[in-house]
Amino acid sequence: MSWNEMWANVALCKTAKPDELFVRGAEQHKAKVVCGACPVRAECLAEALDNEIEWGVWGGLTERERRALLRKRPNVTSWRELLETAKVEHEQSVGRAAV
């Protein structure tokens, strides 16, 4: 099973129609709501950033937001690695705070 298949199978949008995710303007805000509670939001965003996907809402970010992020951090070689590390660190800090 590929990395994409592992996370895509649990994405909240997997049952959504593509027309709901690949929209423009104000409709993008509706698509972003689906991403808000998705357990694989970071993996989805990493996929879009690493592959410079130009269309649709991925990981809760629109095309414009992803382009801005890519311009802001041009030296990132693996968004997947960066976001996975950040996710693990966040989960560890939440776990420590709960104790």
Which residues participate in the annotated binding site for [4Fe-4S] cluster? 13, 35, 38, 44
Nearest-10 crossing angle of helices 27-36, 41-50: 130
Which residues participate in the annotated binding site? 13, 35, 38, 44
Rounded Cα distance between 54 and 70, Å, is: 12
Name the E strands within the chain.
none
Question: Is the distance from CB of 48 to CB of 61 less than 8 angstroms?
Answer: yes
